[in-house]
Amino acid sequence: MKDGTLVVAGMATLSAGTYAFRWSGQLLRARISFPPRAARLLEAAAVVLLAALVATTALTEGHGFSGFARPAGVLVAGVLAWRKAPFLVVVLAAAAVTAVARLLGVP
Amino acid sequence: MSSIWRTLERGVRGNALLVDAGLTCLAVMFIGLSYGAVAVTSGFPVWVPAAQSVLVLAGASEFLFIGIVAAGGSPIAAALAGMLVNARHLPYGLALPPGVTGRGWRRLLGTHLMNDESVVFALGQDDPARKRAAYWTCGLGVLICWPGGAILGALIGSAVHNTGAFGLDAMFPAVILALIVPDLRNRMTLRAALAGAAIALLATPFLPAGLPVLLALAAVLLLARAPSGAAP
C-alpha cells in the first residue's frame, strides 16, 4: 500500500458518501407524501434496480463478459427459484453449477 | 428490538424468513471471505478490508475500491467510483416505507443496515411490522457476517484466493434473484425488470461501474405509463 493517509481519506469518503446516500432517500420519502400508486411504483423501482444488479453481476466482469460458467449457475438458480425450490437449494445450485462448469473448462 | 423477535415468532412464515435470512448471511460471509483474501493478496494490510467492511458495509463498492487502488489508482478516485456504485441506496431509501429503518437514535444504525439483502427482504413482506423485522434481521446479520467473512478471509489470505473454483461468485446474483422472484411473478414488474436488466447490460461496456444499474431505473417508466388497474 503506497500512501496510508490517502487510503484512509478514500475509505472515509466512501463510508460517509455511502451513508449519505442511505440517509437521503429516506429523507425524501419522509418529506414528500406519496399516493399509494406512487409508493407501489417506488417498490417496483427497487425490484428493477435489483434485477439490473443481478444481470450485471451475473453476466459482466469489469466492462466485459464474465464468461459462461457464472451466468449458467445463476440461470439454474433462477429456474429453481421460479419453481419454488428451497432457498438453500437455489443458492447452492448456483455455486455448484458454476464450479462444475469451470471444472469442465468452461470459462 | 424485542418486538422484532415477537413479530418473527408469529407462525411458520417467520421461521422460513429466519432460515432464509440466515442462509443469505452465510452466502454474504462466503463472499466476504473472498473479499478479505483478495484485499490482502493485493497488498493491503488486514485492517483495510476489516474497517471497510464495517464502515462502508456495501460489498461491490469495496471490491471496486480495493481493485482501483491496487491497480495504482488514486484512493479518492476509488472512493468516488465506489460512491457511484452505492448511489442505488438512494432509491432504496425511497422504496422503503417510513419507519422500517427505525425511529430516533435507532435510525442511525438502521440507516447503516440498508443494503441489497436487507432491502429485498423488507420488500418481500406484506405488513409494516414484518417489513421492519425482516429488514433488521437481515441487516444485523449482514453487519456480523460481512465483516466476519472479510476479516477471516484477510487472515487466511492466499489460501482462499481461488474462490472462483467453488463458484462463490455466482452466489450473490443467485441470492438476490431468488429473493425478487416473487415480485417478478407480477407481469408488469417482470417486464420492467427485464427491460431494466437489458439497459444495464447494454450500458456496462461504456459506462463506469454503478451507472448502468442506475440507468435501469428508466425501465420504471414502463410501469408509470401502465393503466392504474395494472399497477404493480
Return the domain boundaries, chain B: 2-168, 185-232
pLDDT digits (tens, 9 = 90+) for B100-141: 999 999 999 999 999 999 999 999 898 899 999 999 999 999
Considering only CB atoms, A81 lies closest to which of B24, B177, B198, namely B177
B192 touches chain A (CB under 8 A): yes
User: What length is written for chain B?
Assistant: 232
Q: How far apart are CA B33 and CA B149, in angstroms?
A: 5
The pLDDT, as a whole number, for residue B53 is 97
The pLDDT, as a whole number, for residue B7 is 64
Q: How far apart are CA B136 and CA B113, in angstroms?
A: 7
Of all helices (H) and strands (E), which one includes residue B88?
none
Cβ of A63 within 8 Å of Cβ of B213? The answer is: no
Regions of chain A short of the pLDDT cut 50: none
**Residue B192 corresponds to which cell in the numbers above?**
420492467
Q: Which one is predicted more confidently, A10 or B163?
A: A10
User: What length is written for chain A?
Assistant: 107
Smallest CA-to-CA distance from B17 within B5, B28, B27 is with B5
Q: How far apart are CA A33 and CA B180, in angstroms?
A: 26
Contact B178, A45 (CB under 8 A): no
Of all helices (H) and strands (E), which one includes residue B135?
helix B128-156
The pLDDT, as a whole number, for residue B230 is 45
Q: Which residues of B touch A18 (CB under 8 A)?
A: 56-58, 61, 82-83, 86, 89
The yes-or-no verdict on residue B194 having pLDDT over 90 is yes
The pLDDT, as a whole number, for residue B193 is 96
The pLDDT, as a whole number, for residue B148 is 97
The pLDDT, as a whole number, for residue B1 is 52
pLDDT digits (tens, 9 = 90+) for B120-129: 999 989 889 9
Q: How confident is the model at residue B160 (pLDDT cuts 50, 70, 90)?
A: low
The yes-or-no verdict on residue B3 having pLDDT over 90 is no
Amino acid at A86: P
The pLDDT, as a whole number, for residue A20 is 98
Q: Which residues of A touch B170 (CB under 8 A)?
A: 58, 69-70, 73-74, 77, 94-95, 97-98
**Residue B120 corresponds to which cell in the numbers above?**
429485498
Q: How far apart are CA B199 and CA A80, in angstroms?
A: 25
Select from A33, A34, A53, A66 the residue whose CB has the most chain B CBs within 10 Å, as the one to mutate to test that interface.
Answer: A53
Contacts of B86 (CB under 8 A, 6+ apart): A14, A17, A18, A21, B56, B58, B61, B210
Q: Which one is predicted more confidently, B164 or B217?
A: B217
The pLDDT, as a whole number, for residue B229 is 45
Mean pLDDT of chain B: 87
Residue with cell 424485542: B2
Q: Tell me the mean pLDDT in the region B49-62.
A: 95
